Amino acid sequence: MRWNGKTLLWALALVGFILLPQLITVKYYLHLSILALCWVIAAQGQNLIQGYTGYVSIVQAGFMGIGAYSTALMGLHYDLPVWLTILLAPCVTAVFAVLTGYPSLRVKGHYFAVVTLAFNLVIFIVLMNWHDLTQGEAGITGIPKPGGKDSWLNWRDRGTYYYFVLSIAILMTGLAALIVRSRIGQTLIAIRQNEDLVGAIGIAAWKYKLFAFVTSAMYAGLAGAIYAHYQSFINPEIFGVAQSLDAILAVIIGGSGTIAGPVIGAFFVVFLPEYLRFADSFRLILYGLVLVLATIFMPRGIVGVAGDLWAKVKGKPS
């Protein structure tokens, strides 16, 4: 690995993230940071399908829901250890992703987005109405923390959970980087740029698209599972279409098709509403406006703008 400016920035960011709980004095911000790290994982997944493969999927929050409910239900009904259910949750999500991805990836572009959105609606309706399983709108309470009773770590402490989520977020970000650099990742980028050409040179594009979709779903499932064990409580509310739009927003604002983008974007979508304490309707208008303006004026997101500035400072034409 070359020790250039980029690696230096990553190292600085890593140190920043590790020191963060020591720097934060208000507990509430630590809580938000943990949520943001969950969103980093979900957004990295969203970026794989949206940013790299070029297919907008509007079901990321729905898949988070599947992950969250499956880890909670497996833990409560079968008495499985928490680490196991957290690992199983993405696998359950993957099964659903294959079942929906296979038919929906047969349609191109926008229709894929609409089918995924329909699927998010289906997930939401089922979570709301299947009372016997999900307890409907009231939600599931008493989801255990990891580690059990005799753990040497105090999992009820937010700081502990922060480092737990942080290490998973780092792991998943690294995995995303590896995927993108691999031959598979390069094929995904090729699909985004020219899917017909990919088909023409004899690559079965649908396999790669399905891979990207299922992987992104597994990221979401994992994020949902971690979220469930952090909050100890889940209900369908936060797994709706609006939250899937947040995942899209995170990728666009941060910088789609970059590894750093979802990290920045996730913190953006978690912290921005906290600073803009408007009524719900204003928040929607403002969010929509940000999304529209960002897409028109900075389609490559914060990372893209920062990259351009950096290039200007160094005097290189971008």
Partner 1 sequence: MIEILQQIINGMAIGGVYVLIALGLTTVFGILGIAHFAHGSVSMFGGYLTFFLVVMWGLPLALAILIALVVGFLLGVLIELLAYRPVRNANHINAFIVALGLTMMVEGLNLEFFGHEQVVIPTDFSRVFNIGGVTIPELRLYVILAAALLIAAMTIFVEKTKTGQAIRAVAENRDAAILMGVNVNTIPLVVFSISTALGVCAGVMVGALFAIAPGIGEGLVVKGFAVLILGGLGSIPGAVVGGLVLGITEALAAGFISSAYKDVIAFVAMILVLLVRPQGLMGKA
**What is the C-alpha to C-alpha distance for residues 172 and 222, in angstroms, rounded to an integer?**
10
- Under DSSP, is residue 221 helix (H, G, I), strand (E, B) or coil? helix
CB count within 10 Å of CB 34 equals 25
Residue 299 sits in the site that holds partner 1 (CB under 8 A): yes
Stretch that binds partner 1, among 11-19, 161-169, 224-232, 245-253 (CB under 8 A): 245-253
- Crossing angle of helices 27-47 and 158-181, in 10° steps, is 20
**What is the C-alpha to C-alpha distance for residues 6 and 140, in angstroms, rounded to an integer?**
43
Of the two residues 16 and 109, which places its CB atom closer to partner 1 in the complex? 109
Of the two residues 11 and 284, which places its CB atom closer to partner 1 in the complex? 284
Residue 241 sits in the site that holds partner 1 (CB under 8 A): yes
Residue 142 sits in the site that holds partner 1 (CB under 8 A): no
Considering the complex, what minimum distance in angstroms separates the CB of residue 228 from partner 1?
23
Let me know how many helices (H) and strands (E) the chain has, helices first. Answer: 14, 2
Among 129, 154, 186, 318, binds partner 1 (CB under 8 A): 129
Q: How far is CA 7 from the centre of its chain?
A: 23
Residue 179 sits in the site that holds partner 1 (CB under 8 A): no
167 CB-near residues (< 8 Å, 6+ apart)? none
Stretch that binds partner 1, among 49-57, 82-90, 149-157, 231-239 (CB under 8 A): 49-57
Residue 196 sits in the site that holds partner 1 (CB under 8 A): no
Among 100, 134, 231, 243, binds partner 1 (CB under 8 A): 100
- Under DSSP, is residue 140 helix (H, G, I), strand (E, B) or coil? strand
Stretch that binds partner 1, among 197-205, 209-217, 258-266, 287-295 (CB under 8 A): 287-295
**What is the C-alpha to C-alpha distance for residues 128 and 278, in angstroms, rounded to an integer?**
27
Considering the complex, what minimum distance in angstroms separates the CB of residue 82 from partner 1?
31
**What is the C-alpha to C-alpha distance for residues 99 and 24, in angstroms, rounded to an integer?**
43
Considering the complex, what minimum distance in angstroms separates the CB of residue 129 from partner 1?
4
- Crossing angle of helices 301-313 and 241-254, in 10° steps, is 10
Share of the chain residues as helix, strand and coil, in percent rounded to the nearest 5: 80, 0, 20
Show the site string, 103-122: x = touches partner 1 by CB under 8 A, - = not: xx-xx-xxx-xxx-xxx-xx
Between vectors from CA 303 to CA 299 and to CA 305, what angle results, nearest 5°? Answer: 65
Considering the complex, what minimum distance in angstroms separates the CB of residue 307 from partner 1?
18
Residue 291 sits in the site that holds partner 1 (CB under 8 A): yes
Structure tokens at 317: 């034409």
Among 132, 150, 196, 280, binds partner 1 (CB under 8 A): 280
Among 50, 60, 71, 243, binds partner 1 (CB under 8 A): 50
Residue 199 sits in the site that holds partner 1 (CB under 8 A): no
Of the two residues 109 and 174, which places its CB atom closer to partner 1 in the complex? 109
Enter the DSSP assignment of 300.
Answer: T
Size of the site for partner 1 (CB under 8 A): 44
Of 183, 193, 244, nearest to 56 by C-alpha is: 244
Q: Which residues bind partner 1 (CB under 8 A)?
A: 50, 54, 56, 58, 100, 102-104, 106-107, 109-111, 113-115, 117-119, 121-122, 125-126, 129, 241, 245, 248, 252, 280-292, 295-296, 299
